[in-house]
Amino acid sequence: MAKKQEQEDAQEEVTEVSKDVLRMQLPIRLPGLGHVNCYALVDDDGCALVDPGLPGPRSFASLEDRLKRAGFGVKDVHTVIVTHSHPDHFGGAVRLAKEAGAKIVGHDSFFFGVPSPEDEAKASVEDQEAALAAEEEEDGRPPAIPPPPQRMRDRGRRSPWGGRRPGPSRFARWVYTAMRKFRGISWVPTITDPVTNLEVLRLAGREYFVVHTPGHTEDHICLHCPEEELFLSGDHVLPTITPHIGGMARSLDPLRTFYQSLDLCAAIPHVGNVLPAHGHPFQDLAERCHAIQAHHDERLEKVKEIGRSLGPSSVEAFSQRLFRERSWGPMAESETYAHLEHLRLAGDVGVHRDRRGLLIYEV
């Protein structure tokens, strides 16, 4: 079977994909992915980089090699734009900020993995909200969804559906926290220049509009340059695969949020060249957005079919019929949960909690 574009190995060649925009492929080894596209937007002061690859010396050495091939050095990088909070997109940002003094641009909701003290404070507020929801249920006014297990920092990080949460393991989070506190080592960037939807960035001598596209992550942004009819799509719109849509989000219906973001992008005028974070540039943004929506429509029908076959079942049981065995685990369960919740909110499935605290869905 031929590889999907996104699975192809990184090539060393640097190509100009639009005026003053260079595509540099950096190697990664993640499920279903063989490279990440780092784009250099060139101006008189040097360049801005979009998504500078994974953390670590090997990835950074590849970035230095690609910059050299393009006629630049690390110190020529004055800006890093991070499309979203996944390591293959922000990994080189901290080192670029340290060695080149680069500012780091990302959405103002950027968040990855390990809670900061501010996030812990925010979590305590959410715990109070969960308690209020439980009180409403006791008063005979049930909340819109069976209340999830309370946020647990010491009980296995259970998910809203009752299984294990996706994301870094407890040990990985402990190691990261220890490195940050006691050795001052961090590869998760601080966003020095946060942006929101429709803000304008001056890049490569042109205006680029920030387009907030929650779905794959809540902090995902794309960049649109009407003058060049250029759209940097990050992971939001990829040429041959669809991004992961997880249920761990502030939105009650993450899949609906993703659909809305796709509708937004499909309606953007003056786009003739789409630059994705993985895979090759392509032209028809609207067509690809509609194809991704159609894929998820098919998945929703598949989930209903599974439900009719299984009867009342847990998210884990649904996910193990929806995904191949090699993909089983918290990530598959999270995406399955997103689809089940979309169907629940549409009135197509019912749900209750069993004695173990698991959500049980029934078509």
Joined tokens for residue 30? 């993640």
Residue 232 has a pLDDT of 98
Give me the CATH code for the 296-362 domain, please. Answer: 1.10.10.10
Order of strands across the sheet that contains 33-43: 15-18, 21-30, 33-43, 46-50, 77-81, 103-107, 193-195
Max Cα-Cα span within the chain: 68
- Compute the distance between CA of residue 215 and CA of residue 21 in angstroms, rounded to an integer: 26
- For the chain, residues classed under CATH 1.10.10.10 are 296-362
27, 57 contact by CB (below 8 A): no
Cβ contacts of residue 317 below 8 Å, gap of 6+? 310
Please tell me the pTM assigned to this model: 0.85
- Compute the distance between CA of residue 306 and CA of residue 323 in angstroms, rounded to an integer: 11
**What DSSP letter does each residue of 80-106 carry, written as one string?**
EE--SS-HHHHTTHHHHHHHH--EEEE
Q: How far is CA 193 from the centre of its chain?
A: 19
3-state secondary structure of 203: strand
3-state secondary structure of 183: helix
Pure H helices in 206-346: 254-266, 285-310, 315-322, 330-345
CATH homologous superfamily, domain 5-112+189-283 = Ribonuclease Z/Hydroxyacylglutathione hydrolase-like (3.60.15.10)
114, 168 contact by CB (below 8 A): yes
Q: Looking at this protein, which amino acid is placed at residue 73? A: G
Joined tokens for residue 344? 């629940």
Predicted confidence pLDDT, tens digits, the chain (363 residues): 678 999 999 999 999 999 999 999 999 988 889 999 999 999 999 999 999 999 999 999 999 999 999 999 999 999 999 999 999 999 999 999 999 999 999 999 999 864 443 443 333 333 333 333 333 333 443 334 444 443 333 334 689 999 887 765 444 454 455 455 544 567 899 999 999 999 999 999 999 999 999 999 999 999 999 999 999 999 999 999 999 999 988 889 999 999 999 999 999 999 999 999 999 999 999 999 999 999 999 999 999 999 999 999 999 999 999 999 999 999 999 999 999 999 999 999 999 999 999 999 999
- For the chain, residues classed under CATH 3.60.15.10 are 5-112+189-283
Express the helix, strand and coil content of the chain in percent, nearest 5 each.
Answer: 35, 20, 40
pLDDT in tens, 184-213: 567 899 999 999 999 999 999 999 999 999
| H helix and E strand count, the chain | 9, 15
Residue 143 has a pLDDT of 39
User: Which residues lie across from 185 on neighbouring strands?
Assistant: none
Residue 217 has a pLDDT of 95
Pure H helices in the chain: 57-69, 87-90, 93-100, 117-138, 170-178, 254-266, 285-310, 315-322, 330-345
- Compute the distance between CA of residue 192 and CA of residue 124 in angstroms, rounded to an integer: 26
* Helix 330-345, helix 254-266: angle, nearest 10: 80
Residue 212 has a pLDDT of 98
